[in-house]
Structure 1
Amino acid sequence: MTVLVTGGNAGIGYFVAEQLAEAGIEVVLGSRDAAKAEVALKVLRERVPGARATWARLDLADLASVKGIEVGALEAVVLNAGVYLEGPDRRETKDGHEMTFGVNHLGHFALTATLQDRLKPGARIVTMGSFAAKSAKLDFDDLECQRDYQPKTAYERSKLAQTLFALELDRRLRAAGSGRLSVVAHPGGALDSLTPDRPPLHVRSTKQKLSLARIALQGKDGGARPAVRAAVGPDVHSGQIWGPRVFGLKGKPRPEPVRGPYADVEAAARLWAASVELTGVEPVFS
């Protein structure tokens, strides 16, 4: 079994890859930076002796890179990579899209279309959502925040877009009679300060190690578990959302209700059409 993890060279993506490798699954780290990918592979192989792991060049801010990714047949892809930009300045991808929306949503939308012939029957497309999406609302007159750019708003909208995309993909897969699954996972409250060290990828300070946040939140290793469960768990169904058990913030993964902004079928269909127009591609499965 082979799973592609976008952004697998750092953060939650690295721990998704590590946990999959511990289960004996071959992992491919999607990364735009060769040096960072090689460091992550070295750490992964030290943690999981005998791990089957490689990396593939993938820059989600460049649609040409997305469409040219070199990977073989896959049993699953975890659409994990993402950006949360700081500072007041609006930035754009190589293709002229607002960076947060372009990387987090449009890049993964295009990647799903690119992989449609490489995802085996029964394969799973796991999209990484976020708690932040629950308070978001898409503005279809300004999807890319050209009028009023706020980093936090742009991030929240991008994560809602990812979730709506995944749920719309589920509806289209079922309508087409496809055996593939589209599932959402979110990490809950996953903090660097609670994440175990993986030098040189991640090393906590003494102050971080003493953080009391662990009472209510968890590390990025815990945040990876819902995505791993969604990718390989035997009890997972298409169209589900998986998150941490304790108030959606920490703990073992469990399915959550699809409600609120996530249940807006009309918005999901409008987003799909806009994404096709903006990327020039469309995921179509049979």
Structure 2
Amino acid sequence: MTSVPRSRPWDVHRLPSAEGRTFLVTGGNAGIGYFVAEQLAATGAVVVLGSRDAAKADAAMVSIRSRVPGARVRYLPLDLADLSSLKTAVEGLDVGRLDAVVHNAGVALDDPPRRETRDGHELMFGTNHLGHLALTQCLAPLLSAAPAGRVVTVGSFAARSERLDLDDLQSTRDYRPKRTYGRSKLAQMCFGFALDRRLRAVGSTVLSVVAHPGGALDSLTPPRPPVCVTTRGERLRALPAGLLVQGKDAGAWPVVRAVLDPEVQGGQLWGPRVFGLRGTPRREPVPSHMADPDVASRLWALSGELVGTDPHLGFR
């Protein structure tokens, strides 16, 4: 009897080659997105940094090239808070197919007052959720043209304790920045799971996967000046926190695995191994409030009305 060979255990420091593939990372110029881009660049893929700030994107590309010899990185002007600009932005990709998009870019506000996007949507909900939803529709033909395209949505641990208020998605009645941020990330994650169900229903080859970085602190992140600058003192003071959380380089690991691992399946959730806060990536159970079909259906319909998207987002 012939045994089926087991695949090599996933090694965050020995990623598989992705030569010939193209990945778009929104917000790839800073934070988790930067380290996702740096790690993906080391696989030989073309990595496109989607950012509204050209100077920050240039700095990120210089940093990646200094650490990854021969890195193939590009910049794409991308403003998720301006929905009317997204179609033109995607045309600027100038590729025949896209192997994966990482929906990473996000806005997090700490203090009032409530702010709005150019389209009149609450800034965090409008950028983090609605902007990525609209971008997905624009990218649908390119993702469908890839042999196994992926939409990887970067969620947040903060979404676990939140619940969506479907009658006040844009926090017009009760705006509290931290709660509004958590709900915007929850909306993103609900969208990621709902998208995969819809992709399966139409027989698409594209997968939708959700990943989150756990607890990722700047003070535990290795420096990448000028993209990420931490002093030795800051890193030393943060060492005790390293028992529970990690740096943003490690926070990128679940996202990178969701992009690259051929054994990852659509509709899965990936996060850090230790309490969902730190460590190497593993598959996690999907919390019930993120996969509720009734909530997802209402969120999908309401979001589509706000953005003006096709019910199937262009996937057939």
- Normalising by structure 1, what TM-score? 0.98
Q: Please list the CA deviations of residues 116-170 of structure 1 after superposition, one character each: whole Å capped at 9, or x if unmatched.
A: 0111241000000111111111111111000110001110110110010011100
Question: 1:23 deviation in Å?
Answer: 1.4
What is the aligned counterpart of 1:7 among 27, 39, 59?
27
> Which segments of 5 or more consecutive residues in structure 2 lack a partner in the other structure?
1-20
Map 1:125-136 to 2 at 5 A.
Answer: 125-136=151-162
Identity %: 62
Q: Which residue of 2 aligns with 1:236?
A: 264
Q: Letter of the aligned partner of 1:194 in structure 2? A: L
CA distance in 2, matches of 1:98, 1:272: 17
Question: 1:67 deviation in Å?
Answer: 2.4
Contact 2:141–2:314 at 8 Å: present in 1 too?
Answer: no
CA distance in 1, matches of 2:119, 2:226: 33
Please state whether the residue corresponding to 1:44 is helix, strand or coil: helix
Map 1:27-106 to 2 at 5 A.
Answer: 27-69=47-89, 70-71=92-93, 72=95, 73-106=97-130
User: Is 1:207–2:237 an aligned residue pair?
Assistant: no
Contact 1:187–1:243 at 8 Å: present in 2 too?
Answer: yes
Q: Letter of the aligned partner of 2:210 in structure 1? A: V
CA distance in 1, matches of 2:85, 2:104: 17
- Normalising by structure 2, what TM-score? 0.89
Q: CA RMSD in A?
A: 0.9
User: Is 1:150–2:172 an aligned residue pair?
Assistant: no
Question: 1:88 deviation in Å?
Answer: 1.5
CA distance in 1, matches of 2:298, 2:233: 46
Aligned length in residues = 286
Please state whether the residue corresponding to 2:208 is helix, strand or coil: strand
Question: 1:65 deviation in Å?
Answer: 1.9
Q: Letter of the aligned partner of 1:220 in structure 2? A: K
Q: Please list the CA deviations of residues 92-128 of structure 1 after superposition, one character each: whole Å capped at 9, or x if unmatched.
A: 0000000000010000000000000111241000000
Q: Which runs of 4+ in 1 moved over 3 A?
A: none
Q: Which residue of 2 aligns with 1:285?
A: 315
Q: Letter of the aligned partner of 1:284 in structure 2? A: G
Question: 1:64 deviation in Å?
Answer: 1.5
Question: 1:26 deviation in Å?
Answer: 1.1
Contact 1:134–1:260 at 8 Å: present in 2 too?
Answer: no
Contact 2:153–2:209 at 8 Å: present in 1 too?
Answer: yes
CA distance in 2, matches of 1:182, 1:59: 22
Please state whether the residue corresponding to 2:205 is helix, strand or coil: coil
Question: 1:229 deviation in Å?
Answer: 0.3
